Structure 1
Amino acid sequence: MKVSVVGTTGYGGAELIRILHNHPEFEIESIHSTKDDLPIWQEYPHLYNIFDKKLEKPIPEKIAEHSNIVFLATPSGISGNLASEFIDMNIKIIDLSGDLRLPPKVYKEWYKLEPAIQALSEKAVYGLSEWNFEKIKKSSLIANPGCYPTATLLGLAPVVKAGIIDTASIIVDAKSGVSGAGRSLSRNTSFSETNENFKVYKVNEHQHTPEIEQQLGFWNSEMKPITFTTHLLPITRGILVTSYVQLLTEYTTTQLLELYQETYDSHPFIRVRPENNFPSVKEVAGSNYCDIGLKVDPRTGRLTIISVIDNLMKGAAGQAVQNANIMYGMKDNTGLDFTPLYP
């Protein structure tokens, strides 16, 4: 299958090239950016003599004529408009931005941008691969989940769906590496500001909050608003989410680990850690894995859930390719079955 990538000069676009360049079924037909006629290795020198295509301006009709699927790795506020141009063409679309994940009114409130048309957002399938497999398989338009929501939802899903927690008790403490902010220059993500530093940001107003709440509500109609707090880690890539939930009845860690292991047994990218073993971000770096660890506190009746992903992989490009695999009836891990980088 022929593939095009729009928004190739961002980190998500670069990861798509890294994955797709060695994918056994997908072949990169074209790469696109506002920087026209520039060899991609001049943006990313690590691709020199490996991948020599030049950037082209995105012309939807031309892309749809030559490719079977297009990945939109452009910023929020841009992807929705591009998707609307592709929607009536014979091409599958995977949008890595937030433009199609929420109803227009909610999107405008949280993203402070003009939303995509309602018909488009209603048609898009939320691409949380492990949980929306059947819908993804039948869809031609995927809203790829955000990085924080992916790590948070994969950690919370089994207990939320099982209805064994107080739905008003969820507190999510999330931390991300600096690449989650994208490649654009800003003072807050400069070396001097982030090195040897650790800070909270967007307190009670992060745009991924309604995305998480929306999916939790699909799983459990009794869901209440969550507390979601984000922090910036002085590392390049990786997300660690610690979620705290109140159990409705008494459970042991062993019992809940069995629930998680049963839930994710057939999903190759979810690794539920053994009891008293907890994941760190370095252990999933460069991979499409989500590692999950659990611990019940019998004193308080609360469950602590730790989930880690690489924000550029399972949180963006890796999950996008996983969704493309599903759309074409391939195994989830086709072209993605590589080990994490370590150390």
Structure 2
Amino acid sequence: MQRIRTAIVGASGYTGMELLRLLLTHPGVELVAATSRQEAGKPLSAVFPRFNRAPGAELAFMEPDPDAIAATGAEVAFLALPHGVAAEIARALLDRGLRVIDLSADFRLRDAAVYEEFYGHAHPAPDLLTRAVYGLPEVRSETIAKADLVASPGCYPTSILLPLLPLLREKLVDHSTVVANSMSGVSGAGRKADLSLLYVECNESARAYGVPKHRHLSEIEQELSIAAGEKVTISFLPHLIPLNAGIVTTTTAKLLPGVAPERIGEALESAYAESEFVRLLGRGGCPDTKNVARTNFIDIGWQFDARTGRVILLSAEDNLGKGAGGQAVQSFNLMHGFPETAGLQNF
């Protein structure tokens, strides 16, 4: 297998660490650059002892300078940076001939005005929005394969979109009745000092946050609207739970009149029967985060509540895996003609 010279920009956070875990042993990757302002000059294995003796772990962190990254011969870069910061680096690396897989929110939205509404500042590179491909591999594998700028989806959106998109495409549910409730582990907030994320604040506790207009709503509604062929507005209620990593989501919607409940299972099977990383649990299946932890799988089950006429969609994923680093590597594989499962066959 050809090895692609690869960089990770922002490699010292939780998502960056997950990318390192996956890429250090990926058969098609030669890791040539990993950046961190705080850890520059230190070997990867010194900052993350878990990688000690992993091939390539002697590589030292470097400053996130586009010229220096390009000088390593990198052909592709993963950006694990905050929104608003990633766009500038993305543009610089694209100008230097690299392909970019961005894990921030900077290129997920098609409309710069929507970005400003949800993220509170003007988009830093609106001219690149039409160039970016929303990197949901189960939906856009062909365009991802040809892209030079991939916007990898958020963790919450992945957990909501994959179960719901087939139902909207086949017009099985009333999209005006959609309500999504998600629960996420604490690593979803990033690797940073924050009083609200201290152990004693999160342990033995659960709380809602970002209500009623969490930032991820923007990309969720964008992708649901594309599938439905009309504007979709939903209620989304995220919660923080005392897990290191993992997301479980329950989404409900009214079944449209005349639609048999069995159509739900048929739509999901039609969409994902051949998908490498979507595991369908069928009617009555209730996904569990422990079964997807440290993998790139998303498990999906469903049920129909005859009393209320509502479909219940249930999903579980690792927010650092299928919700972030794993999904980005899945796009990387598509972009370079590798098997979709390359570097991701862990259970």
* TM-score of the aligned structures, taking structure 1 as reference length: 0.96
Aligned to 1:31: 34
- Separation (CA, whole Å) in 2 of partners of 1:206 and 1:149: 11
Matched letter for residue 94 of structure 2: I
**1:262-319 deviation per Cα after TM superposition (whole angstroms, max 9, x unaligned):** 2101111000103322111111000000100000111221100001110001000000
- Separation (CA, whole Å) in 2 of partners of 1:311 and 1:280: 13
Q: Does structure 1 conserve the Cα–Cα contact (< 8 Å) formed by 2:298 and 2:322?
A: yes
Residue 94 (structure 1) aligned with residue 97 (structure 2): no
Aligned to 2:80: 73
Residue 21 (structure 1) aligned with residue 27 (structure 2): no
Alignment map for 1:136-151 (pairs within 5 Å): 136-151=144-159
Aligned to 1:63: 69
- Separation (CA, whole Å) in 2 of partners of 1:113 and 1:181: 20
Aligned to 1:10: 13
Alignment map for 1:58-207 (pairs within 5 Å): 58-65=64-71, 66-102=73-109, 103-207=111-215
**1:229-274 deviation per Cα after TM superposition (whole angstroms, max 9, x unaligned):** 1100111000011000111035555442122112101111000103
Q: Does structure 1 conserve the Cα–Cα contact (< 8 Å) formed by 2:10 and 2:16?
A: yes
Matched letter for residue 223 of structure 2: Q
Structure 1 residues 39 and 113, CA gap change in structure 2 (3 angstroms): farther
Matched letter for residue 43 of structure 1: V
Q: After TM superposition, give the deviation of residue 64 of structure 1 in Å.
A: 2.5
- Give 5+ residue unaligned stretches, structure 1: none
Q: Secondary structure at the match of 2:332?
A: helix
Matched letter for residue 107 of structure 1: Y
Q: After TM superposition, give the deviation of residue 38 of structure 1 in Å.
A: 1.6
How many pairs were matched up? 339
- Separation (CA, whole Å) in 2 of partners of 1:214 and 1:254: 27
Q: Does structure 1 conserve the Cα–Cα contact (< 8 Å) formed by 2:170 and 2:267?
A: no
Q: Does structure 2 conserve the Cα–Cα contact (< 8 Å) formed by 1:239 and 1:310?
A: yes
Matched letter for residue 279 of structure 1: P
- Separation (CA, whole Å) in 2 of partners of 1:22 and 1:7: 19
Q: 1:247 aligns with which of 250, 255, 265?
A: 255
Matched letter for residue 86 of structure 2: S
Residue 52 (structure 1) aligned with residue 58 (structure 2): yes
- Separation (CA, whole Å) in 1 of partners of 2:163 and 2:283: 15
Q: After TM superposition, give the deviation of residue 327 of structure 1 in Å.
A: 0.6
Q: After TM superposition, give the deviation of residue 113 of structure 1 in Å.
A: 3.5
* TM-score of the aligned structures, taking structure 2 as reference length: 0.95
Residue 304 (structure 1) aligned with residue 291 (structure 2): no
- Separation (CA, whole Å) in 1 of partners of 2:52 and 2:26: 19
- Separation (CA, whole Å) in 1 of partners of 2:238 and 2:285: 24
Residue 220 (structure 1) aligned with residue 228 (structure 2): yes
Q: Does structure 1 conserve the Cα–Cα contact (< 8 Å) formed by 2:172 and 2:264?
A: no
Hey, which bits of structure 1, 4+ residues long, moved more than 6 A? none
- Give 5+ residue unaligned stretches, structure 2: none
Aligned to 1:40: 44
Aligned to 1:294: 302
- Separation (CA, whole Å) in 2 of partners of 1:251 and 1:300: 14
Q: Does structure 2 conserve the Cα–Cα contact (< 8 Å) formed by 1:252 and 1:296?
A: no
Structure 1 range deviating more: 299-308 or 35-44: 35-44
**1:24-58 deviation per Cα after TM superposition (whole angstroms, max 9, x unaligned):** 11111111111321222332222233322111012
Q: Secondary structure at the match of 2:139?
A: coil
**1:201-246 deviation per Cα after TM superposition (whole angstroms, max 9, x unaligned):** 0101210001100011111123431001110011100001100011
